Amino acid sequence: MNLTCDGETLQNYSGGKWVSSRSNETEAVVNPATGVTLAHVPLSTLEDVNAAVADAAHAFKTWSRVPAPKRARIMFSFQQLLVKHWDELAQLVTMENGKSFKEAHGEVLRGIECVEFAAGAPTLMMGNQLSSIATDIESGMYRYPIGVVGGITPFNFPMMVPFWMFPLAIACGNTFVLKPSERTPLTANRVAELLSQAGLPDGVFNIVHGARDVVNGMLSHPDITAISFVGSQPVAEYVYKTAAANGKRVQALAGAKNHTIVLPDADLDLAVKEIVGAAYGSAGERCMACAVVVAVGDVADELVQRLKNAGDELIIGNGLEENVFLGPVIRQSQKERATSYIEHGEREGAIVVRDGRNDPVSEDGYFLGATLLDHVKPGMKVWTDEIFAPVLSVVRVETFDEAIQIANQSDFANGACLFTDSASAIRKFREEIDAGMLGINLGVPAPMAFFPFSGWKKSFYGDLHANGKDGVEFYTRRKMVTARHS
Ligand code: NAD
């Protein structure tokens, strides 16, 4: 295994070889639960990007011509290796990201599902024909890969988010250069080893570690034809605009502020369990996290009390320890940012019903307990901004219409959920909510790999979303052939 987690400097992966970055600049990769440095990540240079893209462009010449069923077979082998190394990968995710082992295990499963979907490439890439478009003339559409794809990913899903990109891109015949988050770069290196073990030819999958310079190098590189990005809203907007201005196909998945509406007829046992999982799971560092509960009518008092009680029960600690639910946030700076939002909320009039700042936690890691803010109003900073921490806001309203209106006022529109027993309320919600991924009586409505991950508004920049048939469209281009037979 290429990594020992003993503080070594990570290498890039290019053309099937582990290579040192040309840069001497590094950043510490810290286990957020312990503060221990696991590795150093190089802040690679433009030359490193150029070398990896050259390897990927070279590999594209042969890989794009490998028959689709043969490419799919490598995905099958890869899937088996991922299943075999499931626990090890989950441990790595917990160590570098902090989420509980159970959540990390689930994250690895989400990654495996992407590989399983990508293994359907021979079917997914099929074109279509019309035998007669005019006398003796037929027409057919064929799909081809697009070239070298660049993937840029966030810290919060070091396994799942890269898997939204490279398995499908590769199975469709493209080659890939990944720039993982500099805060969680370890899982990607292990994945590269498993891909090689699965029989993936050299140069098809490459990694360049680093930060902004690597991203800018990718966005302007003439041999990268498409960019898949997942990260925060300002960076997503920048990546989208820059890549598009440079003539690239681009999909940029961005931040979120997901609202969950609870109606008076909701099953509160279910609602509380699901909301707690969605708001505090992965320490709130999920783009599908529940950030705001909109409590309708007289459900509010009991709901808030029950959410507080459930927050009191959560076990905080190192995600590798048994029964721990709430791990640390990613860095001390993120903890400070979250606590400053809580202070700001208090100043603006929100009531801190449960104060995670007071939970007894290890001083070595970046822990913040489950925090519950009541009487939050639209327009307050804790309502407008993505906090990305275990901080849940409750907005109280009188009517369902008001609740929908408030959810729709958010600039973000990744997901929205509703808890109710009413079929007509469910229909109204589906028709009137402006968000791309809706949950009915569940907390995290993240679609599986065969459906698109379909954020709206400032939660997504581009046309074709990640995963599902959108993903196939994104990673392929069409050729129309019209032929006369006479
Ligand atoms: P981030 O935007 O800080 O970083 C994402 C990637 O962009 C990283 O690889 C980083 O190195 C790079 N980057 C950061 N700043 C840059 C800059 N100025 N110029 C060029 N590149 C830059 O995001 P993060 O903190 O790692 O991840 C959390 C964010 O990702 C949250 O906002 C979350 O909602 C979002 N996210 C969205 C989805 C989705 O599907 N919509 C999924 C996961 C995470």
What confidence tens digit (pLDDT) does each residue in 298-307 have? 999 999 999 9
Q: Out of 5, 114, 172, 287, pick the active-site residue.
A: 287
124-145 average pLDDT score: 97
Q: CB of 12 within 8 A of CB of 18?
A: yes
pTM (global) more than 0.90: yes
On whether both 230 and 162 belong to a single domain, the answer is yes
pLDDT for 361: 87
User: What whole-number distance in Å separates Cα of residue 459 and Cα of residue 60?
Assistant: 32
Given a cut of 80, whether residue 6 has pLDDT beyond it is no
- Is 218 a domain residue? yes
Q: Closest ligand 1 atom, CA of 179?
A: 9
- Say if residue 179 carries a ligand binding annotation: yes
From the list 283, 309, 463, the residue with the least C-alpha distance to 367 is: 283
Buried residues in 324-334 as b, exposed as e (16+ CB within 10 A): bbbbbbbeeeb
On whether both 399 and 262 belong to a single domain, the answer is yes
Structure confidence at residue 379 as a pLDDT band (50, 70, 90):
very high
Place of tokens 């979250």: 338
Given a cut of 70, whether residue 57 has pLDDT beyond it is yes
Distance 447 CA to ligand 1 centre (A): 20
φ/ψ of 343, rounded to 5, equals -60, -45
CATH number at residue 226: 3.40.605.10
On whether both 290 and 167 belong to a single domain, the answer is no
Mutate to test the pocket of ligand 1, among 46, 177, 230, 464 (most ligand atoms within 8 A of CB): 230
CA-nearest residue for atom 16, ligand 1, is 212
- Is 445 a domain residue? no
From the list 327, 305, 306, 329, the residue with the least C-alpha distance to 318 is: 327
Residues within 6 Å of ligand 1 by CB: 152-157, 161, 179, 181-182, 211-212, 215, 230-232, 235, 253-256, 287, 386, 388, 414, 453, 455, 459
- Say if residue 396 carries a ligand binding annotation: no
**Count of domains forming the chain:** 2
User: What whole-number distance in Å separates Cα of residue 211 and Cα of residue 126?
Assistant: 37
On whether both 92 and 176 belong to a single domain, the answer is yes
On whether both 136 and 212 belong to a single domain, the answer is yes
Given a cut of 80, whether residue 1 has pLDDT beyond it is no
Token readout for 428 is 């109204």
Instruction: For 146-188, write each residue's pLDDT tens digit.
Output: 999 999 999 999 999 999 999 999 999 999 999 999 999 999 9
Percentage of the chain modeled with pLDDT above 70: 99
DSSP one-letter string for 256-295: --EEEEE-TTS-HHHHHHHHHHHHHGGGG--TT-EEEEEE
- Classify the phi-psi angles of 429: left when phi > 0, otherwise alpha if psi is within -120 to 50, otherwise beta: alpha
- Is 473 a domain residue? yes
User: Would you say the C-alpha torsion 25, 10, 320, 390 has a positive or negative sign?
Assistant: positive
From the list 135, 175, 110, the residue with the least C-alpha distance to 466 is: 110
pLDDT for 2: 47
On whether both 189 and 226 belong to a single domain, the answer is yes
Close Cβ partners of 4 (under 8 Å, ≥ 6 residues apart):
none
279-299 average pLDDT score: 98
Q: Interior CA angle at 281 toward 280 and 283, to 5°? A: 65
Given a cut of 90, whether residue 253 has pLDDT beyond it is yes
- Is 4 a domain residue? no
**Cβ-based burial of 116 (10 A; exposed 0-12, middle 13-18, buried ≥19):** middle
How far is the first Cα of the chain from the last one, in angstroms, to the nearest whole number? 61
Given a cut of 70, whether residue 3 has pLDDT beyond it is no
AA letter at 44: S
Instruction: For 327-357, write each residue's pLDDT tens digit.
Output: 999 999 999 999 999 999 999 999 999 999 9
On whether both 278 and 419 belong to a single domain, the answer is yes
- Measured CA to CA in angstroms, residue 486 lies from 128, 135, 364, 481 at distances of 22, 9, 79, 16
Structure confidence at residue 89 as a pLDDT band (50, 70, 90):
very high
- Is 62 a domain residue? yes
Q: Closest ligand 1 atom, CA of 232?
A: 32
φ/ψ of 171, rounded to 5, equals -60, -30
Q: Closest ligand 1 atom, CA of 287?
A: 34
Distance 121 CA to ligand 1 centre (A): 28
CATH number at residue 396: 3.40.309.10
Mutate to test the pocket of ligand 1, among 27, 177, 181, 286 (most ligand atoms within 8 A of CB): 181
Given a cut of 50, whether residue 99 has pLDDT beyond it is yes
* Host H or E run for residue 95: helix 86-97
On whether both 474 and 419 belong to a single domain, the answer is no
pLDDT for 423: 98
216-231 average pLDDT score: 98
| SS3 letters across 8-47 | CECCEEECCEEECCCCCCEEEEECCCCCCEEEEEECCCHH
Q: Interior CA angle at 115 toward 109 and 118, to 5°? A: 145
On whether both 243 and 287 belong to a single domain, the answer is no
Q: CB of 395 within 8 A of CB of 376?
A: yes
363-384 average pLDDT score: 97
Rounded (to 5) percent helix, strand, coil in the chain: 40, 25, 35
Given a cut of 60, whether residue 296 has pLDDT beyond it is yes
Instruction: For 413-459, write each residue's pLDDT tens digit.
Output: 999 999 999 999 999 999 999 999 999 999 999 999 999 999 999 99
pLDDT for 4: 58
Distance 148 CA to ligand 1 centre (A): 21
Structure confidence at residue 7 as a pLDDT band (50, 70, 90):
confident
Distance 236 CA to ligand 1 centre (A): 7
User: Is 172 a known active-site residue?
Assistant: no
- Is 350 a domain residue? yes
Across the chain, what does the average pLDDT equal?
A: 97
On whether both 348 and 236 belong to a single domain, the answer is no
User: What whole-number distance in Å separates Cα of residue 197 and Cα of residue 206?
Assistant: 14
Count helices and strands (H / E) in the chain: 17, 22
Domain range spanning residue 377? 258-410+415-440
Place of tokens 């605009």: 241
- Is 311 a domain residue? yes
CA-nearest residue for atom 30, ligand 1, is 231
- Say if residue 138 carries a ligand binding annotation: no
DSSP one-letter string for 413-427: ESEEEEE-S-HHHHH
Q: CB of 205 within 8 A of CB of 129?
A: no
Distance 153 CA to ligand 1 centre (A): 6
- Say if residue 182 carries a ligand binding annotation: yes
On whether both 249 and 269 belong to a single domain, the answer is no
User: What whole-number distance in Å separates Cα of residue 374 and Cα of residue 345?
Assistant: 10
Three-state DSSP at 4 gives: coil
Instruction: For 385-395, write each residue's pLDDT tens digit.
Output: 999 999 999 99
On whether both 307 and 225 belong to a single domain, the answer is no
- Is 466 a domain residue? yes
Structure confidence at residue 284 as a pLDDT band (50, 70, 90):
very high
Q: Interior CA angle at 315 toward 441 and 306, to 5°? A: 45
Distance 252 CA to ligand 1 centre (A): 10
Angle between helices 268-280 and 300-313 (to 10 degrees): 50
